[in-house]
């Protein structure tokens, strides 16, 4: 079996699917890409059993057949080529692979394509279509807030809540929470599922260059994302997501409005002097002045800065983890932000004062840290 393909086109597609590869796989076959040739098309698949990604590129060939090709070896070889046509020859009996370039010949050993895990069939699936930019934005704004706790796997993914009115994406690790809602997208019926972090990162990297819609099909166990010439199928996280609405405080009489970038930069600077385990920064608000301070008693380091702000409410002092606060501010795209609080021991709510998109509703919540006076 033979085919001819452009080296840069092949490398670009292989790099797009290689994100799914693990360094230590339970099955040796998963260290390979599956190449399926069907006349003028080459379908490339990579899998770790939980997530599978496939993409299709155009080639020159008269043959059909499949072969598993060692992933790392092929990627390392392709990275060294300038753009040129490559001829691949597969020996289907001995699983030998020969690549011919302008420079010379390269031989490697593949595996039987039949051993590669098959895609799960989606039975009794529901589906919806989302604009690629909406899905990319939802992933970018939520994925950083997911948890890493193996004991609570439901919190290590993003919770998708579909309804005929809107679509909501939620991520939390119990210290911070993001709720991202779109009123310009909806589903025919109400349902919900939890998508793991790995396939979301793959989607995040590939959706950046996609225009048009993404078709999402899902049932109780799997979700299927298809767009342009790429498919991503992943196993959903099994379990019940915590009631996130109950955590969001409804009454927040103390409202602070401030320039997002100067607030974020101030926190980043001051936090350099904070305790390296708690990353605690102290916000002291009095009138229209916000004082941001941090100290590390072990090394006698301390820093403080003052910013002007608009503030309605009682003077208060509250502590936050600076890493969480800076991360949240960097994931908002607005000029000014509102920080709404009720008490020093209750969660603070971060909201953009103006949304760049009227259909977008984003809320970020951060738990306070106890201040040691």
143 has pLDDT over 70? yes
Give the rounded percent of residues in the chain with a pLDDT score beyond 70.
100
Verify that 90 and 196 share a domain, yes or no. no
Dihedral (CA of 347, 353, 359, 360) sign: negative
pLDDT digits (tens, 9 = 90+) for 194-208: 999 999 999 999 998
Residue 253 forms part of a structural domain: yes
Alpha-carbon distance 97 to 67, whole Å? 9
CATH assignment of the domain containing 59: 3.10.150.10
Verify that 89 and 14 share a domain, yes or no. yes
Provide the pLDDT for residue 173: 94
DSSP symbol at 175: S
What are the φ/ψ torsions at residue 115 (nearest 5 degrees)? -80, -15
Helix, strand or coil, per DSSP, at residue 77: helix
Verify that 327 and 293 share a domain, yes or no. yes
Provide the pLDDT for residue 340: 96
Nearest to 338 by CA among 320, 355, 351, 348: 351
214 has pLDDT over 90? yes
What are the φ/ψ torsions at residue 249 (nearest 5 degrees)? -70, 135
Provide the pLDDT for residue 355: 78
270 has pLDDT over 90? yes
Across residues 128-137, what is the average pLDDT? 94
Helix, strand or coil, per DSSP, at residue 122: coil
pLDDT digits (tens, 9 = 90+) for 21-52: 998 888 999 999 999 999 999 999 999 999 99
Provide the pLDDT for residue 25: 85
Q: How confident is the model at residue 166 (pLDDT cuts 50, 70, 90)?
A: very high
Residue where one domain finishes, among candidates 219, 245, 271:
245
Provide the pLDDT for residue 373: 63
Residue 121 forms part of a structural domain: no
Q: Residue 302 sits in which domain range?
A: 248-369
356 has pLDDT over 90? no
68 has pLDDT over 80? yes
Q: How confident is the model at residue 249 (pLDDT cuts 50, 70, 90)?
A: very high
Alpha-carbon distance 371 to 54, whole Å? 50
Provide the pLDDT for residue 371: 80
Please tell me the total count of domains within the chain.
3
DSSP codes of every residue in 292-361: EEEEETTTTEEEEEEEE-EEES--EEEEEEHHHHHHHHHT---SEEEEEES-TTS-EEEEESS-SSTTEE
Verify that 206 and 220 share a domain, yes or no. yes
Residue where one domain finishes, among candidates 245, 270, 296:
245
Q: Can you give the pTM of this predicted structure?
A: 0.91
Residue 120 forms part of a structural domain: no
Verify that 274 and 359 share a domain, yes or no. yes
Provide the pLDDT for residue 26: 83
Alpha-carbon distance 119 to 99, whole Å? 28
Residue where one domain finishes, among candidates 115, 148, 171:
115
> Which residues lie below 8 Å from residue 72, measured CB to CB, with a gap of 6+?
31
Q: Where are the alpha helices (DSSP H) in the chain?
A: 7-17, 71-78, 132-142, 197-207, 260-271, 322-330
pLDDT digits (tens, 9 = 90+) for 315-324: 999 999 999 9
Taking residue 146's Cβ as centre, other Cβ atoms within 10 Å add up to 23
pLDDT digits (tens, 9 = 90+) for 286-344: 999 999 999 999 999 999 999 999 999 999 999 999 999 999 999 999 999 999 999 99
Q: Helix, strand, coil proportions of the chain in percent (round to 5)? A: 20, 45, 35
């Amino acid at each position: 079996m033979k085919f001819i393909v452009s080296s840069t086109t092949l490398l670009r597609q292989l790099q797009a699917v290689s994100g799914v590869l693990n360094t230590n796989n339970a099955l040796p076959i998963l260290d390979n890409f599956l190449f399926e040739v069907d006349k003028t098309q080459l379908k490339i698949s990579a899998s770790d059993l939980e997530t599978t990604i496939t993409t299709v590129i155009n080639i020159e060939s008269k043959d059909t057949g499949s072969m598993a090709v060692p992933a790392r070896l092929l990627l390392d070889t392709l990275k060294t080529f300038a753009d040129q046509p490559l001829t691949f020859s597969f020996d289907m009996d001995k699983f030998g692979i020969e690549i011919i370039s302008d420079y010379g010949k390269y031989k490697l050993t593949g595996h039987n394509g039949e051993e590669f895990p098959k895609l799960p069939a989606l039975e009794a699936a529901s589906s919806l279509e989302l604009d690629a930019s909406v899905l990319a934005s939802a992933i970018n704004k939520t994925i950083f807030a997911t948890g890493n706790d193996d004991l609570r796997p439901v919190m290590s993914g993003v919770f998708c809540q579909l309804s005929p009115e809107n679509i909501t994406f939620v991520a939390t690790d119990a210290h911070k929470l993001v709720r991202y809602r779109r009123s310009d997208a909806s589903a025919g019926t109400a349902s919900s599922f939890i998508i793991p972090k790995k396939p979301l990162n793959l989607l995040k990297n590939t959706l950046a260059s996609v225009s048009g819609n993404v078709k999402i099909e899902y049932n109780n166990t799997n979700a299927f994302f298809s767009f342009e010439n790429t498919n991503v199928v992943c196993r959903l996280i099994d379990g019940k997501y915590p009631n996130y609405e109950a955590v969001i405080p409804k009454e927040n009489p103390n409202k602070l409005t401030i320039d997002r970038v100067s607030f974020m930069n101030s926190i980043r600077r001051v936090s350099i002097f904070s305790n390296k385990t708690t990353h605690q920064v102290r916000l002291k608000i009095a009138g229209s002045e916000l004082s941001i301070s941090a100290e590390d008693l072990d090394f006698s380091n301390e820093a403080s800065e003052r910013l002007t702000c608009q503030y309605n409410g009682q003077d208060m002092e509250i502590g936050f983890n600076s890493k969480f606060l800076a991360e949240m501010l960097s994931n908002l795209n607005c000029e000014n932000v509102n920080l709404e609080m009720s008490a020093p021991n209750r969660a603070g709510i971060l909201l953009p004062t103006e949304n760049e998109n009227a259909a977008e509703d984003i809320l970020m919540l951060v738990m306070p840290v106890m201040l040691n006076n």
